[in-house]
Amino acid sequence: EAGVAQSPRYKIIEKRQSVAFWCNPISGHATLYWYQQILGQGPKLLIQFQNNGVVDDSQLPKDRFSAERLKGVDSTLKIQPAKLEDSAVYLCASSLYRGEGSDYTFGSGTRLTVV
Amino acid sequence: RKEVEQDPGPFNVPEGATVAFNCTYSNSASQSFFWYRQDCRKEPKLLMSVYSSGNEDGRFTAQLNRASQYISLLIRDSKLSDSATYLCVVRGGGFKTIFGAGTRLFVKA
């Protein structure tokens, strides 16, 4: 079974620039998550999709972050404009269903450095 | 108070030692509990789920105390390959999932 694919692996941008990350979940996984992991911290959920609908985006800084999952498969996460504090690893994860006990499969992440 | 709190670490132990990690959670309605392992510059991976009755997988034992809102992970006979960050994960109402900040473990030869 192919895993969760993310690209790019690394990205360096200047503050105030924009950036986009892409995620392709495991085939058949209805639920997709974007997490932000700042160095030394645990992953923080930014947004959760169920198919192509948003389930939870309460911690997404909506003034600069946006995400979409138009066809219920691939997803993109965008930051515009980026700030220094956005430097982090952005992890995408997917799960088969939202039910209790389901666990996630994470992609290898995109490491963003804002300078 | 953070929703999920873990021992700050790092833990430095010799090979063969037994080490225990603790985690507390604030939401009494939390339903599912997990331990994840994260190697340096890698993504988190599920280590084991945590059940009310406690569960064991080889050298790893997980315990849940709902009354105290406390989860633990015990590693026996530590190996060099156990060096990693261990993340406590709590899933609550609405399937909201909270990760702890992680506890770093270094196992020395």
Rounded alpha-carbon distances, angstroms, from residue A75 to A22, A25, A34, B105: 6, 8, 9, 34
Per-residue confidence (pLDDT) for residue B35, from 0 to 100? 95
B101 CA: distance to closest CA in chain A (Å): 4
Per-residue confidence (pLDDT) for residue B104, from 0 to 100? 96
- Alpha-carbon gap, residue A85 to B79, rounded angstroms: 36
Rounded alpha-carbon distances, angstroms, from residue B74 to B35, B60, B62: 11, 6, 6
> Pick from B96, B97, B85: which is nearest to B45 by CA?
B85
Q: Which chain B residues have a beta carbon less than 8 Å from that of A101?
A: 32, 49
pLDDT digits (tens, 9 = 90+) for A15-66: 999 999 999 999 989 899 999 999 999 999 999 998 889 988 999 999 999 9
| Interval A102-106 mean pLDDT | 79
- In whole angstroms, what separates CA A103 from the centre of its chain? 16
Per-residue confidence (pLDDT) for residue B95, from 0 to 100? 65
Nearest Cα residue in chain A from B86 = A42
Rounded alpha-carbon distances, angstroms, from residue A25 to A28, A80, B47, B76: 8, 24, 20, 35
pLDDT value at B16 more than 70:
yes
Is residue B80 within 8 A of residue B30, CB to CB? The reply is no
Q: Is B3 on the interface with A (CB under 8 A)?
A: no
Q: Is B63 on the interface with A (CB under 8 A)?
A: no
Residue A85, classed as helix, strand or coil, is helix
More confident residue, A113 or A72: A113
pLDDT value at B4 more than 80:
yes
More confident residue, A55 or A115: A115
The residue with tokens 């997709």 is A32
Are B101 and A41 in contact (CB < 8 Å)? yes
Per-residue confidence (pLDDT) for residue A41, from 0 to 100? 92
| Interval B6-25 mean pLDDT | 95
pLDDT value at B108 more than 80:
yes
Looking at this protein, which amino acid is placed at residue B92?
G
Strands B4-6 and B11-14: unpaired
A77 CA: distance to closest CA in chain B (Å): 18
Phi, psi (degrees; rounded to nearest 5) at B95:
60, 25
Q: Is A56 on the interface with B (CB under 8 A)?
A: yes
Give me the percent of chain A exceeding a pLDDT of 70: 94
Are A103 and B102 in contact (CB < 8 Å)? no
Mean pLDDT of chain B: 93
CA Rg, chain A, in Å?
13
Phi, psi (degrees; rounded to nearest 5) at A38:
-85, 145
Q: Which chain A residues have a beta carbon less than 8 Å from that of B49?
A: 101, 103
Per-residue confidence (pLDDT) for residue B55, from 0 to 100? 92
Strands B103-108 and B11-14: parallel
pLDDT value at A71 more than 90:
no
Per-residue confidence (pLDDT) for residue B1, from 0 to 100? 76
Per-residue confidence (pLDDT) for residue A109, from 0 to 100? 97
Are A100 and B43 in contact (CB < 8 Å)? no
More confident residue, B83 or A96: B83
Are A106 and B43 in contact (CB < 8 Å)? yes
Q: Is B50 on the interface with A (CB under 8 A)?
A: no
pLDDT digits (tens, 9 = 90+) for B34-44: 999 999 999 99
CB atoms within 10 A of CB A37: 22
